[in-house]
Structure 1
Amino acid sequence: MRKIYILCLFSFLFQPILLAQINIATGDSIFENFNSMGTSPTATLPANWRIDKQNSVFTTGDFASALQNTQYSSGNNMGNIPNNGIFNFGAGPAGSATDRAIGFLSTSNATKSGNVYVQVKNNGTVNIHQMDVHYNVEKYRNGSNNKDYRIQLHFSYDGINWTDAGAAFETKFIKNGNNTGFNPAPGITKPATGTLSVNIPAGNLFYLCWNYSILGSGGTNNGQALGIDDVKINKIKSNTTTLAWHYRSINTGFWKNKNNWETSETGLSNWVAASVMPSDSALTITVKNGHTITVDSSATGSDVNIELGAVMNNQGSKLEIRGNLRVNGTVNGSQGDRLVFRGNGNQKISGNGTLSLSILTINKNQGSVTLERPVIVDNLLELKGKIFTSAINLLTLGPNSTVITDNSFQSYIDGPLSKIGGTNFTYPVGKDGIINPISISDLTESSEFRAEYFPDDAHSLYSSTQREASLDTINRCEYWMLDRITGTASARVTLGYSDECGPVDPTFLAISKWDGTEWTNQGNGTYTGDTISGTVTSLNLISQFSPFAMASVGSSSMPVSLLEFTAVEKNKQIELKWITASEVNNDYFIIEKSSDGLNFEFSEQVKGAGNSFSEKTYNSIDKTPFNPYTYYRLTQVDYDGSRESFPIIVVKTSAEKNLSGRAYYGREGIVVKINSAEPATIDVLDMAGNKAFKTTISGSGEEQTVTVPSTYFHPGLYLIYVTNGIEGFIEKVLVNK
């Protein structure tokens, strides 16, 4: 960490018992290096600094609700640690280093992003329009996550709605492939420097926020640990000329006619005739009670407020809003008019008035749009960004409306979305950085349907154990709510799937619907895609609507497809190893052991992968095996409590080897070579657990060869289980005839 030895000049700015906020004015500089926090894991941040963690990526919070303490401390050799969240970092040993920083380490659930905030106040007599900002971003641990990480600066005038400070204030760290720490720490320091164009009236508060997040979609586990240090704001400047930052209407007329507006620098007093029409450089634009403003061509605004009794007419025009829209009066739309939200920060639509929209365009690279009122779109929703909705503040698309999205992981409706009409429609719904649409087709009449996506386990609400006999499992990774609000239409339902929610063979997937008491099978009429991702459509028209989820049918595979389960003696201990090819709703494994192969006792419980479509390797060590033989039984347990046990294996704790062998696919079939002192049994199973062949051999103590003819097999992967009652082994063989 590079030291900036000017703290003594400004230390009065950071005494929490003296000031209610950090004060700045034209010409001031402020500096913070966090060293005053000390080394405690739960250190108190300097006055007017706050910190929080979020359970969604790219998410900023609000200053007032944030925390004033860290949760953990770390420094040299951070590496793999059990903690994640908010850290007090030290440049050296965590418990003694005097050079500190604050930051985050992400996880797959509780900490998907984090924020460091500071509140300052312009205590001068003139507005501040520019400030130079410098800080260091420090890296305390690599991350094996396959995505890059970054810290991005944002700013705000209320501590709630944030604006991206731009590329100059984005600090990126590329992916690493490991979770190693550094000695000495931090391992990498990247400075960030730039100039912010701001508008802080005299006496007003201002906020900065450093957002820590993964770059891209996917899981956030095994993240990089990043911190903020040596924050310096200096050369704060004010324009010498008075700028008008607030507009309000004084007449009825056109938006682009400056004579219909007056301006004020504070928005409270000293209103004067406007010299130019309003644009996005204004802080607020208000249409006053009794006035009608018409937008007849492209116009741009920041925060736009339509007062009760005021009217704004869009006449086939494009109004681009960089801030918030509040409508307590009336906004009249016409065919082809376009309302665009394009700010980099979070934006919102609110108010209790009448809002008529022909085209709603969300064009955002950062932030989101939140509905704080119902919104109806008549013709087109263009979606490049995220919209937050709720059952009360609902987004509804009219009978003639369509949706165009950029198909990115950041463009979706987070919350319920309603569609009126009788045509096929795909709902671009998602949540928490995950998008997974639901579609309706072949509607029998015009009706209103409402859809919402949940990337959660529905089991606590709709038990996955209550299902029709034809359904093997209910996907516990995600579900959808699809409700018919008006009308009586029946429709086919299409759901999306991906291997992120577990192994998939689309031929064995089906749509399932909760009917109030159990999950019912709605069939698989058609599917698109492959084992990675795709869609499945219900077989028949559905007339009753409720929660929907993907399900598996036909016993296409065991909940866990086991490739290998072995036990090897080493240093008087038994090393157990098992490998799975895939797992579906697998909660955990149980290992049991026995001295006789009949009476088993609990040995260990090992957490499963849940849902996986790639090979997973598990290991366990038994430090107290029985003598001379120990039998091991591996059992897999689903989330719903159902379980499956695999063939028992046995190991002898002496050095004597009673069974050895190997298997491979040859010209005549599967060839098994065995050397066993005892009679042995050979079982050949396919990946669905069906027994394709079984035979026994006598125990001779010499190598014997067993050939299983190829007529017993279809192409695919087979498991060969060999045991002589004392020892055993499993081999996998690929048949590709």
Structure 2
Amino acid sequence: LLAMDAPTSLDSGDYLYLGHDAGTIAAWGNTNAPNNPYVERVDRTWRVDKINDIGGIRLGFDTTALPAKPAGFDAYYLLIDNDNDGDFTDVADGEFTFVRLNERFGPLARVSGVDFIDGALFTIAMAQNVAVNDGDFDDPDTWLIEVPLDGDEVVIGTGSDVTLTEDTELSEITINGGNLNLMGFTLTITEGTINLIGGNVIPSNGTIEYASTSGTVCVQPLTYHHLLVSGSGTKELCGDIVVNGDLQINGDPTLDANGHNIELLGNWNSAVSASFAPQADQVTFSGTAAQTISKTGGGTEAFNNLIINKTTNDVTINEGNVQVNNTLTLTSGDVILGANNLVVNSNSTSAIQGGGATSYINNEGTGYLQHGVTLTNTYAIPVGGATEYAPLTFTLNSATLSSASIRMTQTDSPHPARDNATIYLTRYWSITPVGISGSIDYDLTLQYPESDVVGDENSFRMAKYTGGSWTESEGTEILDTGNNTVTWNGITSFSDYTLLGNGTVLPVVWEQFRAVADGEAVHLFWTTSEEVNNDYFTVERSLDGQTWEALTDLPGRGFSQASVAYDWVDNSPAPLTSYYRIRQTDFDGEIGYSPIRTVTMGTLALNIAAYPNPVPESGQFQVAVQGGTPESEVRVQVIDLTGRQVAYTTGETNSRGQWKHELQLPSSAPTGAYLLLIELDGQVHREKLMLR
């Protein structure tokens, strides 16, 4: 059972003897032990007799000969009676000493340098290190035994207020009637949990980290400042929690809501290797600060019920995508998508609850809102832009469905193909079907902000842009200028939607117009999707954007409903900045103009162009860069609406900062919208790309 060696000062005639009484070592108990119930000892007592001074010794005990550890106890101690009266219950200062057996040698738990007095009595004990006084965590006077070591289990007893003075790591902590104040530091629990029997944890801007690496650990129902879940295994909510700061999931653990709720006032950040297991729970974003949801490294974070209920500011999906399996409730504050997606899985008409001018989904950008749909249900979709509420209502009357949904974005600017209409809306919506095919028929209502109206809104019709041409509601629309809504019933395909009052049937429908500096020249490209009675084009140039000179005439196609591409090179451009436009002339002498494009020669402004755009059916298009850093890397990606890369290339600008390359989309690429990403000089330039 017992081994001793390594005396520090053993001379001739020096002796140390150990003997013990008839007490048993078969069980742990509280008889004749201090601070019941935090100390348990074996019944046996040892006595020390010594002749002369042999210094300290190393004393060890074979733990395999001792009883199993009591539940909640982990550390072995020598309990030394300093006054040699055999009373181990006397808690007066100095009456007994705890000495941790802090070394392990095979089955031995041992300690070095123990210097017994002659006649000393000791026993073997197991103890929970308990705070018995108010004080700092690193103050020995706070604790029954000693300042806890990293990885210890500790207890904060009744009436003890303990304050952290540095980041602290414990295997487990029990708060039994006392209080622990984090004071801005991090408390890491490496194996168990926080057992809250009474008392409280005072967060005080600190962080609690549950860091176990296996099994299932209880996340206590507390008010946290920052909550960090790390390690691996499962961290399971044992009740509702409130997190006043940030909630972070690192490593590869699973945070299991276990049917409980989370209220979060800070940011949600989850690693791509970690997971959140939503069940019949709700996560509420609240408070006054701007908040973000991030799935670091990409991927999707799924919630069961997501509630946005903020006093001020909004919630932004900062990285990765968000999925809501049951309901999204919009009470106050917006959800900003940016370049990320929000998927509402349910096809229930109540899957999105609430919503309005003070709380909606900002889907102005490349990120889309996706909502499950089914036949004959009417879905009110609370969407808008950065400053304006612009919702839509959708009813699918007929179609063939397979896990059906619609994806929606909107753009707070006039549709680029709106021609020269003088009555129009400075906003358009885009809807893409998922799992919807066959004989399609649906109704759509758009609500527009008054500030987006240009011209007389009483002339508005809903117009949809598909395949390079416009289709109008042609008087079948239901226009309500009092409530700023337009309804079009019986639509049979999906595309972009806006409101136009005139100008949709013009001699020329402009698809694109680009002006690109190309060495010592300027290359002009333009594409039309429709020409009616078109005689010719005139290329015009201006030095101030006011006074124009004609450079050349090019014949038009007269009548065409196909995409037609034109180009012309100005080999004698003006130095520095020039303005270009295309004047179009009908056979009857009527004229119209393209948008104006600006080109800077000499010290080039950065100019990035993809042309033609829309891309023709062949899938071939070019990307040109002017004004970049000389001999710098250019990376180009084409991403489809699911986030999949369909084309990729790299290159390097020449000594004048120029680069041009032709890309080919795969023949299997479906028509529709794509995202073009051009990385240059440490920045990513984004552009919407359309494939016919």
Note whether the superposition's TM-score is higher than 0.5: no
Higher relative contact order (CA 8 A, sep 6+): 1
When normalised by structure 1's length, the TM-score is 0.37
